[in-house]
Amino acid sequence: VYATTTDVHKKRQAPGARDRGFVDEMRAVAMSLHTRDQAKEGEKEANAPPVAKWEPSVERYLRFLVDSKLVYDTLETIVQEAAYPCYAELRNTGLERSEKLAKDLEWFRDQGHTIPEPSSPGVSYSSYLEELSKKDPQAFICHFYNIYFGHTAGGRMIGSKVAEKILDNKELEFYKWDGDLSQVLQNVRDKLNRVTCSWSREEKDRCLEETRKSFQYSEDIIMTSIS
């Protein structure tokens, strides 16, 4: 049921097997910011224990889910409100996670767990995204790509490890997508390539340069909550 690294790898088309667009550039920068133990293409030095060594607890994992929900709520509101017309293209992609997370939190509540308030890594990322989305669509789209696509790859690996260790392998809604995920991802890649094709080289570079920040914010949420 859960994706392993190899599954994730197999399900993704080999680079070159599809139209090369700006998404390939965003992906290449993202992959270079992984460590070798996170992904084969990773280049960064590891400064945290590998996922296999994490010792999650339900309490900390709930913090991660709550912070993640705040970030997805924020992204999904931003594209609904569409301060820039290109955001409207990113509505209803099939990758939305907010409702799925609401169901998962309901399940934890039914199990007798207390759902915490969002913590500072989630709150900081959410307010950063709100501000950024109003003034810099290129940088905002970098976060949109990294959050949604990263979750379908490394995010799923984290989910399966945690489920194995503390949830008796229960598969949460957060890790389920309606329809064929690889097709959904391809449709979103096509949309992102369309939205970004009119950008100047300078705008594209500004988007790529934002990748590091996107990793920092997401890693803050992952690290303080799970490992």
Which residues partner with 44 through β-bridges? 35
Binding region for ligand HEM (CB under 6 A): 5, 8-9, 12, 27, 30, 34, 38-39, 51, 146-147, 149-150, 153-154, 157-158, 185, 214-215, 218-219
Q: For residue 88, what is the enclosing H or E element?
A: helix 85-88
Closer CB to ligand HEM, 68 or 146, in the complex: 146
Question: Looking up tokens 């709150």, which residue turns up?
Answer: 123
Question: Measured from the CB of residue 184, what is the shortest distance to ligand HEM in angstroms?
Answer: 11
CB of 16 to ligand HEM, least distance (A): 13
Comparison of 121 and 137: residue with beta carbon closer to ligand HEM: 121
Residue 183: both structure tokens together:
């097709």
Taking the complex as a whole, the smallest distance from the CB of residue 144 to ligand HEM amounts, in Å, to: 11
In the complex with ligand HEM, the residue whose CB is nearer, 66 or 185, is 185
Q: How far is the CB of 124 from ligand HEM (least distance, A)?
A: 14
Q: What's the CA gap between 89 and 209, in Å, rounded?
A: 23
Q: Up-side HSE of residue 177: CA atoms within 13 Å toward CB?
A: 20
Q: Which residue is nearest to ligand HEM (CB)?
A: 154
Considering beta carbons, is residue 6 or 114 the nearer one to ligand HEM? 6
SS (H, E, C) 11-67: HCCCCCCCCCCHHHHHHHHHHHCCECCCCCCCCECCCCCCHHHCCCCHHHHHHHHHH
At its nearest, how many Å lie between ligand HEM and the CB of residue 114?
26
Q: Which is nearer to ligand HEM, 79 or 185 (CB)?
A: 185
Q: Nearer Cβ to ligand HEM, position 66 or 95?
A: 95
- Per-residue b/e over 138-165, b at no fewer than 16 CB within 10 Å? bbbbbbbbbbbbbbbbbbbbbbbbbbee
Q: Of the candidates 178, 8, 191, which has an alpha carbon nearest to the alpha carbon of residue 99?
A: 178
In whole angstroms, the minimum distance from the beta carbon of 152 to ligand HEM comes to 6
